[in-house]
Amino acid sequence: MNIGIVCYPTYGGSGVVATELGKALANNGHKVHFISYKQPFRLVHFHENITFHEVSFSNYPLFEFPPYETALASKLVDTVKFSNLDLVHVHYAIPHASAAFLAKSILRQQGITIPVVTTLHGTDITLVGKDVTFAPVVSFSINQSDGVTAVSDWLRDETYQHFDITNHIETIPNFIDLNIFSKNDKSHFKKAIAPNGESILIHTSNFRKVKRIQDVILSFDKIIREVPAKLLLVGDGPERKNAEKLCRELGNCADVRFLGKQDAVGELLAVADLFLLPSESESFGLAALEAMACQVPVISSNAGGIPEINIQGETGFLSNIGDTEDMANNAIRLLKNPDILQEFRVNALNQAKTFDIQKILPRYETFYEQVVEQAKAGV
The answer to whether position 181 is within a domain reads: no
3-state secondary structure the chain: CEEEEECCCCCCHHHHHHHHHHHHHHHCCCEEEEEECCCCCCCCCCCCCEEEEECCCCCCCCCCCCCHHHHHHHHHHHHHHHHCCCEEEEECCCCHHHHHHHHHHHHHHCCCCCCEEEEECCHHHHCCCCCCCCHHHHHHHHHHCCEEEECCHHHHHHHHHHCCCCCCEEECCCCECCCCCCCCCCHHHHHHHCCCCCEEEEEEECCCHHHCHHHHHHHHHHHCCCCCEEEEEEECCCCHHHHHHHHHHHCCHHHEEEEECCCCHHHHHCCCCEEEECCCCCCCCHHHHHHHHCCCCEEEECCCCHHHCCCECCCEEEECCCCHHHHHHHHHHHHCCHHHHHHHHHHHHHHHHCCEHHHHHHHHHHHHHHHHHHHHHCC
Whole-number pLDDT of residue 308: 96
Give the pLDDT confidence of 34-50 residue by residue, as tens digits.
999 998 877 888 899 99
The answer to whether position 135 is within a domain reads: yes
Does the model's pTM come out above 0.85? Answer: yes
Model confidence at 180: pLDDT above 90? no
Whole-number pLDDT of residue 102: 96
* 214 and 348 inside one domain: yes
Model confidence at 354: pLDDT above 90? yes
The answer to whether position 315 is within a domain reads: yes
The answer to whether position 208 is within a domain reads: yes
Confidence of residue 134 (pLDDT cuts 50, 70, 90): confident
Give the pLDDT confidence of 259-301 residue by residue, as tens digits.
998 878 888 999 999 999 999 999 999 999 999 999 999 999 9
Whole-number pLDDT of residue 379: 59
Whole-number pLDDT of residue 184: 74
CATH number of the domain that residue 306 is part of:
3.40.50.2000
* 46 and 126 inside one domain: yes
214 is in which domain, residue-wise?
187-353
Give the pLDDT confidence of 116-133 residue by residue, as tens digits.
999 998 877 776 656 677
Give the pLDDT confidence of 86-107 residue by residue, as tens digits.
999 999 888 899 999 999 999 9
The answer to whether position 182 is within a domain reads: no
Structural domains counted in the chain: 2
Rounded to the nearest integer, the mean pLDDT of the chain is 92
* 66 and 132 inside one domain: yes
Q: What is the mean pLDDT of residues 232-253?
A: 95
Whole-number pLDDT of residue 104: 96
